[in-house]
Amino acid sequence: MEFRFLGRSGLKVSAVSYGNWVTHGSQVEAEQAALCVRAALDAGITTFDTADVYANTKAETILGDALEGQRRESLEIFTKVYFPTGPGGPNDSGLSRKHIHESINGSLKRLKTDYVDLYQAHRFDHFTPLEETMEAFADVVRQGKALYIGVSEWTADQLRAGHALARELKIPFVSNQPQYNAIHRVIEAEVVPASLELGISQVVFSPIAQGVLTGKYRPGQAPPEGSRATDQASGANFIKGLVSNEELLERVQRLLPLAEAEGLTMAQLAVAWVLQNENVATAITGGSRPEQITANAAAAGKQLSAETMKGIDEALGEAIVTDPSLTAKSAPSKRLT
């Protein structure tokens, strides 16, 4: 396993990390989830990402149970706060001081740990003063409940504003967690340059585009049984826009010879592509079967040739999404509860 520094900090994380969005507590039950976590550990993955909103707190509980008994100092555990949890009361979401403090206490209990390594604002909150949010994060850090602070899907301007406050408060703001893959490249124009300037790393999710970049979704064919696109209880809603795009699916098939030339599976090629970006500290991968986790981890440390990188660009062509305004649109424009 390759290890990289998280932002301009001294914390190292595994270049491939394990995340349990739309799996633990919904798509994958506890016993199978524990096997996936075991496979991640066996593959050298030390970094685990979750959020309180995943399966309405169940994902954190399952991850905490699966990691119980592991040497805590050898793990980097990340979680997030923002989206509604519990019954969805008026203060059960957002980045207010109240919700942040109540959420970190709940997350620590579910994860069975005294602290998390990274506590992340899951989205930007347009309805809470940024000063209130950052002061609450500073409290969490000073109480020893989180070692570092990060965010998810913040714009370049939001990163700069949050980082300036973090500097004033003397707390380590080290990361941003955006969607990033060979298809979805919206962070490259503005977010990555700002992050390099500020000393913030990307902790990226969906490096395989929720399975689309594995090539298993073929144009003109029904999604494979048991795939995320057939999981009506959870994953299908997140992926339907991608799997219904016939041109995109056809272009993805053109990646197969590139992967074969590198001695990689298409999934490994997708993860390796993300890791070619110097601003990416770790690529969060998931899976419903242990063998998927093991295979994804093997992409760490793979250096893709210039010819392969160019070939990926040419294969995906007009299917590549680069509009930087999409980052701002990821934050809800109204209160969720």
Could you say which DSSP state residue 223 is in?
P
Residues 6+ apart with CB under 8 A from 331: 123, 124, 125, 126, 153, 154
Assigned CATH class of 3-329: alpha beta
Measured between alpha carbons, how far is 258 from 269 in angstroms, rounded to an integer? 8
Q: What is the average pLDDT across 313-336?
A: 91
Q: What is the average pLDDT across 162-178?
A: 98
Query: Which among 54, 82, 180, 217 is annotated as catalytic?
Result: 54
pLDDT of residue 220: 66
2 close to 9: Cβ distance less than 8 angstroms: no
Concerning whether 54 is annotated as a catalytic residue, the answer is yes
pLDDT single digits (tens) 58-109:
999 999 999 999 999 999 999 999 999 989 899 999 999 999 999 999 999 9
Could you say which DSSP state residue 224 is in?
P
120 close to 177: Cβ distance less than 8 angstroms: yes
**In the chain, where are the structural domains located?**
3-329
Distances (CA, A) of 216 to 60, 227, 274: 29, 9, 19
Measured between alpha carbons, how far is 246 from 260 in angstroms, rounded to an integer? 23
159 close to 196: Cβ distance less than 8 angstroms: no
Measured between alpha carbons, how far is 329 from 89 in angstroms, rounded to an integer? 24
With 90 as the cut, is the pLDDT of residue 299 above it? Answer: yes
Reported as a pLDDT band with limits 50, 70 and 90, residue 140 is: very high
Reported as a pLDDT band with limits 50, 70 and 90, residue 244 is: low
Among the ranges given (93-107, 110-124, 222-236), the one the predictor scored with the smallest mean pLDDT: 222-236
